[in-house]
Amino acid sequence: MHCTKKEPERVIDRGLSVSETMYANPTEYATPPETKVNLDAKITAAANAQALVKDGGKFEKANRDTLVAELFALLENTLLPYVNGLYKGDRSKLMLSGFPVCDDPAPHPVPAAPVIKSIEKGPEPHSAKIYLAKTTGPLNKKRERLNYYVWMSDDGDEEHIRIVLTVTSQRKLIVTGLNRGKEYIFTVSCSNAAGGGELATKVRYIST
């Protein structure tokens, strides 16, 4: 039996089940803290709106429907691996409409550490462009949304790296505002819905 976003109480119940499972199994269902907070906030908002509908009118119902749709979208997209894992093989439980049951719901992996192929002079003055080598595994999974983080140190100390750029495309790994002749240390990491991956091997670069 399935539920859809038009069945508020079942969607809220599904959200509670996924949230409880992630907190109870932090290793198997490793989740970024901000994702858990976002899920819990949407569950609370939808549940509160649902409670108001019983004594309210059209406005309360419209507000409830909007909040339930937002919760449903979060479960259907970002948290799909957890929903699949939670309801694997148990078709007697309610699942969100359209969710396939995974045959092997392995924990959704974080991206592999990228490999910096080269760092060259960027297209803008005092900039550098980072090129990543092609990799296999989670980093290249089709249709997976990835965030790329460029870390940099400008004092020669590898322990002092900090994030200076966040983009969603490898083509945009361009760091600006560099000083000509100065040495910088760069590395890159990626994240997906399951969390952040390891840092690439650090590379030193002298700005030209």
Say which residue, 195 or 31, is predicted with more confidence. Answer: 195
Residue-level pLDDT at 1: 31
Entry pTM: 0.49
Residue-level pLDDT at 92: 36
Other CB atoms within a 10 A radius of the CB of residue 41 amount to 13
Strands 162-167 and 2-3: unpaired
Residues facing residue 203 across a β-bridge: 186
Q: What share of the chain is helix, strand, coil (3-state, %, to 5)?
A: 35, 20, 40
For 117, phi then psi, to 5°, come to: -80, -45
Handedness of CA 79, 82, 85, 87 (dihedral sign): negative
* Buried b or exposed e, range 71-98, using 16+ CB within 10 angstroms: bbebbbebbbbbbbbbbeeeeeebbbbe
Cβ pair 75, 83 in contact under 8 A: yes
Helix (H/G/I), strand (E/B), else coil: 192 = strand
CA–CA separation, 139 vs 114, rounded Å?
7
Q: For the domain made up of 116-206, give the CATH fold.
A: Immunoglobulin-like (2.60.40)
How does residue 146 score in pLDDT terms, banded at 50, 70 and 90? confident
pLDDT higher than threshold 90 for residue 131 = yes
CA–CA separation, 29 vs 21, rounded Å?
8
